[in-house]
Amino acid sequence: MSERPFADKIAVVTGATRGIGAAVARALGAGGAHVVALGRTQGALEELDDAITAAGGTATLVPMDVTDYDAIDRLGGALYERYGRLDVFVGNAGFLGPLTPMRDVELKDWDKAVNINLTANYRFIRSLDPLLRMAPAGRAVFISSGAAHKGRAYWGPYAITKAGVEAMGRTWAAETVTTALKVNLFNPGPIRTLMRAKAFPGEDPMTLPTPEEAAEAIVAMCRTDVAETGRLYDFPTRSWQDFRSPA
C-alpha cells in the first residue's frame, strides 16, 4: 500500500490540539491528507501545524469551540467553496465532565457534556454530510467510549452522551448505506491521555497505549478500502464489534 494513502484528500479532525485528535491529525497529514484541524487553543494548533509540516504534510488551522454551531455551518460552506468535497471527518472532541452521582450533576455540566459530545457532532453531520457524499469515498469516524456500554456508577453525563453518539453514528450510517460514505465508531479504551489521567489519577500512564497507537487504527478506518459502515472498532480487542439487540 502507498505510504501516502491520503494524498490529495481533505480531512477534518475535531479536538485536534492534544491526545488522540492531535495524533490522528499528524498521521493523516503524514499520509498525504490536507488536514483541517479544529481546536480551541491557537498555540497548540500552531504546534500541530509545525509537526504536520515537518512530516511533509499541510494543514489549515481552525480555532473553534465546537459549541459555536454557527461556526460549524460556516466551516461547511468554506470547505465547499474551496474544495467542493470532504474526504474524511474524525469527530474526536469530547468532554469528560464530573464523575459524580446523577443527582449531583449540575445543569451547566450536563449541558456542556450534551453540547460538546452529542449536539456538536449532530451539527457537524448537518454541515458536512453533503460534502462527504460528494467525495468518491467519504469516511467518517466518531470517537466513542467503553463507558457507553458499562453503566458504570458516577459516569452519567459522559457515558450517556457517548451512547448517544453511537446511536447517532449508526443512524447516519443506515441513512447513507446506499452511498459511498462509510460511517463508523471507535472505542479507544484506556489510552495515555490527559482525560484518562483526570478520570484515573492513580493509574500509571506508562502502562497504557499511546494516542499514536490509537491514531494508527483510526486512520486505517478512514482508508478508501474500508467496507464496514455502522460498526464499532474496539481498540482494546483490536476487532470490529457488531451492535446487537438483546435476545
In CATH, what number is assigned to the domain containing residue 65?
3.40.50.720
Residue 244 pLDDT > 70, yes or no? no
Per the annotation, the verdict on 245 as an active-site residue is no
Single out the catalytic residue among 9, 127, 144, 233.
144
Per the annotation, the verdict on 162 as an active-site residue is yes
Average pLDDT over residues 149-178: 97
Residue 13 pLDDT > 70, yes or no? yes
Is residue 215 domain-resident? yes
Provide the percentage of residues in the chain whose pLDDT is more than 70: 97
Is residue 104 domain-resident? yes
Is residue 184 domain-resident? yes
Q: Are 63 and 45 in contact (CB under 8 A)?
A: yes
pLDDT at 245: 44
Grid coordinates of 43: 498555540
Single out the catalytic residue among 9, 127, 145, 182.
145
Single out the catalytic residue among 158, 182, 233, 239.
158
Single out the catalytic residue among 9, 122, 154, 162.
162
Is residue 3 domain-resident? no
Is residue 246 domain-resident? no
> Over the stretch 38-86, which tens digit does the pLDDT of each residue have?
999 999 999 999 999 999 999 999 999 999 999 999 999 999 999 999 9
> Over the stretch 195-223, which tens digit does the pLDDT of each residue have?
999 999 999 999 999 999 999 999 999 99
The tally of domains found in the chain comes to: 1
Per the annotation, the verdict on 2 as an active-site residue is no
Is residue 86 domain-resident? yes
Question: Of all helices (H) and strands (E), which one includes residue 87?
Answer: none
How would residue 3 be classed by pLDDT, with cut points 50, 70 and 90?
A: confident
What is the pTM for the complete model shown? Answer: 0.96
Is residue 4 domain-resident? no
What is the residue range of 122's domain? Answer: 10-241
Higher pLDDT, 3 or 236: 236
Per the annotation, the verdict on 198 as an active-site residue is no
Is residue 5 domain-resident? no
Q: Which residues contact 22 (CB under 8 A, 6 or more apart)?
A: 16, 44, 48, 211
pLDDT at 246: 40
- Report which of 41, 66, 180 is spatially closest to residue 126, judged by C-alpha positions: 66
